[in-house]
Amino acid sequence: MSKSLTPYLTVSNAAAAVDFYKKAFGAEEIARHQAPDGKRLMHAHLKVLGMDLMLSDDFPEHMGRSRTPEAFGGSPVTLHLHTDDVNSLWEKAVTAGAKVTMPLADQFWGDRYGQFTDPFGHSWSAGQTIKKVSEEELVAGAKAAF
């Protein structure tokens, strides 16, 4: 039996979100299923960095209310992408329309790391391990940062 944990996003324009994730992350589209209304996607399946991401348009008429980050005033969840080339991923995401919320920079815990919000209100972070830090370095860095 295979196991996985797959994020499933609700967005305000799933077709545009699929296009954004393709441009921003080099996502591969696995499936796209149109809703009967012909205007929304009831399901899309992508591969991002070789891992699954699923999404659909918002269907408040079936869920009792809107479930997009815009409807909630943002998202409390951050999706993290860890890669061997964070600078390239970062540039593609920002060029595709991501809004930087924490600039990409070398961090005290040994990663090059930053955060952004996609055009649909979902929060993302991206990182690349650039050096291994000791527990003492981590504690000292945290004290300085906080």
56-94 pLDDT tens trace: 999 999 999 999 999 999 999 999 999 999 999 999 999
Q: Does domain 8-145 have CATH number 3.10.180.10?
A: yes
Tally Cβ neighbours within 10 Å of residue 14. 24
Tokens for 17, please give them: 């979100």
For residue 120, which of 55, 49, 44 has the smallest C-alpha distance?
55
Break the chain into its structural domains and give their ranges: 8-145
Alpha-carbon distance of 13 to 19, in angstroms, equals: 10
pLDDT, residue 11, reads: 97
Task: Please say whether the beta carbons of 56 and 37 come within 8 A.
Answer: no
Adjacent-strand bridge partners of 29: 46
How confident is the model over 21-32, as pLDDT tens digits?
Answer: 999 999 999 999
Tokens for 102, please give them: 């924490």
**Who's near 84: CB < 8 A, 6+ residues apart?**
128
pLDDT, residue 2, reads: 77
pLDDT at position 19 over 90:
yes
pTM: 0.92
